[in-house]
Structure 1
Amino acid sequence: MPVGRSGKKKSQAPFFSQQFFIENHADIVSCVCMVICVGMMFQVSQPFSSMFVAAQYNITTNITEGEDKPPETLYLLGARDGFTVFFYTLIWITLHAVLHEYIWEKWCRRLHLSKTKTTEFYDSGQLAVYYLLSTIIGATVLQRRECFSSLSLLWRDYPDIPISFIEKMYYINQIAYWMHWFPELYLMKAKRHEIKDKVVFYTLSLAFILTHYSFSYIRLGIFFLTVHHLVECLNYTVQVLELAGKQQSAQPLHSAWSVVFVVARIATMTVAAAAFLFGLPKVDGNNLEVGFETGNFNIPVVRFPLFAAIIGISLYHTWDFVMFQINIRQDALEQKESMEKERQRQREKKKNRRDQDARRRKKEEEEETKASNESSTVGQSSPRKREGRK
């Protein structure tokens, strides 16, 4: 069964049509990836296929001089990385379709959501998985570099080239992931009013990653992305649970997200200030020539715009977070007031009902008293009538 977007299909779309490509795009893309991988098995096509599959610009260096350890393969940056990004963009398109078809779509069918909430559910689910994987891998890279024990290692050895294999593939996959969202707008048949905001979001995310990768701010970029992705992982997980109607499970995660968000923003702005304003101007690599060949872009023209962008993004997210919390408080107060008014109405209804019952009982008692008085009057007059007759 082809992996598509529409679930059960009523009729097969014509070959080479737009609908046929959308319904079977995952199979088509996976076949392209398979052909590229098969090319690695033959000597003739191996150089061409390796440009797409393998990490480019590898060099072998012995970074542990004087120790009996094998040399480590490190990597430089270059234009041929675009071929690798293209291949892994195809991989992400296939993974996106698999997750959509076999997890999110099956789950969404049980929820009976509206079209708007269904789209939000799909996007939140995909982003939650991506942010979770990115956080785990980013934390692993930083742990291997021992950056958690000393944050100065994030900028001390700038420029951060050559880089290890996991750092190289981390950035390749980050770039490929955000690249794959642009064709997904077409494949998911996104509505016109949704496209603009999504394109801006994808473009800004891609620009942030490309800037740190191209200018050799490798470890700083991984740190900023890992911290941000941890926050977003919690955020989108909460959204998925809330849309799925699991409010009890979402509430603890929402509280954890609020705490982690504040800590993450403080950590991001603190590290950005320490790195771009105080740490990087004092590193030993400043005597290198500025350019892509050396990977040195430790100049004020690059540092200050990067610092301003990070602070601006952090302040924007903070403002959005504060307004979100204010709206939650206002909604909670409005809900409390509405519930209090509803309770007041219920109390008034009960009071009116009790008054009505009391008036009814009083009326009934009066009628019974009146009836008993009339019956007693009739009982007293009847003996007198009998005596008169005698």
Structure 2
Amino acid sequence: MGMRRPRTTKNPPILSHEFVIQNHADIVSCIAMVFVVGLMFQATSPVASLFVALQHNVSSTVNVSEAEDQVIMYTNGAKDISCVFFYTLICIVIHAVVQEYVLDKLNKKMHLSKIKHSKFNESGQLLFFYFVSAAWGADLIVRENFLNINSLWEGYPHANLGFVNKFYFIIQLSYWLHSFPELYFQKTKKEEMSSRIQYAVLYLLFIGGAYVLNFTRVALGMMVLHYSVEFVFHLARLLYFSEKTDLANTGFMVFNGLFVLVRLGTITLSVLTFWYGLQQSNQLTIDFTAGNFNTQLVRINCLAAVSLLQAWMMWNFINFHLRRLGERSAVSRKIKSPAKKKMKMAEEDIQALPEVDQQTASENGVRSRTKASKKN
């Protein structure tokens, strides 16, 4: 017999696919550090600040005493693209940190299958993001006093945003944009790609549309509602993978109820804002300079887009539960079917016998049944 070759742990070739996937967090963090280091030098600081710092500052101060109390305000613009790019890199790094130091350690303890492993990682990442976004958004609503429903449309256009408010939307866009390179870094299967790309594109379209059209207040309220429900779903999903069935079932029941309520709440917010509130200050034409998009055409399209999205989500929700009911009924039929098949086969065997034998066989069958019933 030949000798076994010793196992060699060779590193993948530099710049190969496997090398990039294994070291993508280090590579991306180095790229991000280039922009941060660029802030330290006078020659590169103006360019680096385009990526790191928020752009389109519209605050103007005359006196130094006023500058201390003034809240710095920002608006949206083309320079936000560079800012979104930088924070997309940061999201990739944070994604890798959560994956390596939290999710991978949990996966080793749980010994999940490949399919469950992928879904567990997805739910773990989204659970972290939804929790942070929902809590951060709720804090913004309280601080900015958006609990008053009239504030969703009063004072429109809401072109000027505070630092935290604008940074929130930049992070939202960056996170959903980072989902696309993560498909490559996480070696996502083709079967799972379509669904992940679908919801990432929808998030980008609706959040980006609200940010550009200055409908950030109503979008913030909708996101907090939606993220809170999604947090419950992914928490229940993680409990299910952890084999804590009772807690998972309770979580899914809570999610089912909240999902319907949030869909109704989202439609209610959109109707109140686009159909009733903004109609009071309706404009005939779009004012790009002031950022005022409050025309009837824009409002109807926004209302239709939100309503269609909620209807589509409810349609998928209902179809999913109908499919589950069908699967459960099919399983229950399979459990009952063997006994029925045995009875049918016995009757067919009796009918195949001559008449005299049929009578004796049927009598014996009746006797055996009566004996069995007496024993019971």
Measure, in 2, the Cα distance between the counterparts of 1:75 and 1:315.
34
Measure, in 1, the Cα distance between the counterparts of 2:53 and 2:96.
24
What's the counterpart of residue 92 of structure 2? Answer: 93
What's the counterpart of residue 363 of structure 1? Answer: none
Measure, in 2, the Cα distance between the counterparts of 1:137 and 1:192.
33
Measure, in 2, the Cα distance between the counterparts of 1:343 and 1:279.
64
| Distance apart, 1:223 and its partner CA | 1.1
Quickly say closer, same or farther: Cα 1:171–1:288, change in 2 above 3 A: farther
Q: 1:73 touches 1:164 (CA, 8 Å); kept in 2?
A: yes
| Distance apart, 1:93 and its partner CA | 0.4
Q: 1:288 touches 1:296 (CA, 8 Å); kept in 2?
A: no
Measure, in 2, the Cα distance between the counterparts of 1:328 and 1:141.
39
What's the counterpart of residue 319 of structure 1? Answer: 315
Measure, in 2, the Cα distance between the counterparts of 1:106 and 1:342.
44
3-state DSSP of counterpart to 1:41 = coil
What's the counterpart of residue 176 of structure 1? Answer: 174
Measure, in 1, the Cα distance between the counterparts of 2:339 and 2:217.
57
Measure, in 2, the Cα distance between the counterparts of 1:307 and 1:287.
17
What's the counterpart of residue 274 of structure 1? Answer: 272
Measure, in 1, the Cα distance between the counterparts of 2:219 and 2:266.
11
| Distance apart, 1:145 and its partner CA | 2.2
| Distance apart, 1:244 and its partner CA | 2.1
| Distance apart, 1:337 and its partner CA | 6.6
What's the counterpart of residue 160 of structure 1? Answer: 158
Aligned length: 337
Measure, in 1, the Cα distance between the counterparts of 2:165 and 2:88.
17
Gaps of at least 5 residues in structure 2 are 1-7, 341-367
Measure, in 1, the Cα distance between the counterparts of 2:330 and 2:315.
22
Q: 2:141 touches 2:221 (CA, 8 Å); kept in 1?
A: yes
Measure, in 2, the Cα distance between the counterparts of 1:332 and 1:18.
43
What's the counterpart of residue 101 of structure 2? Answer: 102
What's the counterpart of residue 19 of structure 2? Answer: 20
Task: Give the RMSD, CA atoms, in angstroms.
Answer: 2.9
Letter in 1 for 2:177: M
The reply on whether 1:243 has 2:246 as its aligned counterpart is: no
| Distance apart, 1:263 and its partner CA | 1.8
Quickly say closer, same or farther: Cα 1:68–1:185, change in 2 above 3 A: closer
3-state DSSP of counterpart to 2:161 = coil
Measure, in 1, the Cα distance between the counterparts of 2:80 and 2:67.
32
Letter in 2 for 1:60: S
Question: 1:6-58, CA deviations, whole angstroms, 9 ceiling, x for partnerless residues?
Answer: xxx94211122221111101001111112211222222222111111111011
| Distance apart, 1:69 and its partner CA | 7.5
Letter in 2 for 1:318: M
Moved more, 290-299 or 201-210: 290-299
| Distance apart, 1:74 and its partner CA | 0.3
| Distance apart, 1:232 and its partner CA | 1.0
Measure, in 1, the Cα distance between the counterparts of 2:29 and 2:20.
13
The reply on whether 1:307 has 2:303 as its aligned counterpart is: yes
What's the counterpart of residue 262 of structure 2? Answer: 264
Quickly say closer, same or farther: Cα 1:68–1:127, change in 2 above 3 A: closer
Measure, in 2, the Cα distance between the counterparts of 1:125 and 1:104.
7
Over alpha carbons, which structure has the higher Rg? 1
| Distance apart, 1:260 and its partner CA | 1.6
**Within-5 A mapping of 1:346-357:** none
Q: 1:74 touches 1:165 (CA, 8 Å); kept in 2?
A: yes
What's the counterpart of residue 6 of structure 1? Answer: none
Quickly say closer, same or farther: Cα 1:102–1:332, change in 2 above 3 A: same
Identity %: 34
Letter in 1 for 2:81: G
Measure, in 1, the Cα distance between the counterparts of 2:60 and 2:269.
30
Letter in 1 for 2:203: S
Question: 1:304-335, CA deviations, whole angstroms, 9 ceiling, x for partnerless residues?
Answer: 11111111111122222223333444555566
3-state DSSP of counterpart to 2:72 = strand
Measure, in 2, the Cα distance between the counterparts of 1:334 and 1:309.
37
What's the counterpart of residue 47 of structure 2? Answer: 48
**Within-5 A mapping of 1:53-202:** 53-60=52-59, 70-148=69-147, 150-202=148-200
Gaps of at least 5 residues in structure 1 are 1-8, 345-351, 360-390
| Distance apart, 1:282 and its partner CA | 0.5
Question: 1:189-210, CA deviations, whole angstroms, 9 ceiling, x for partnerless residues?
Answer: 2222332332222111111111
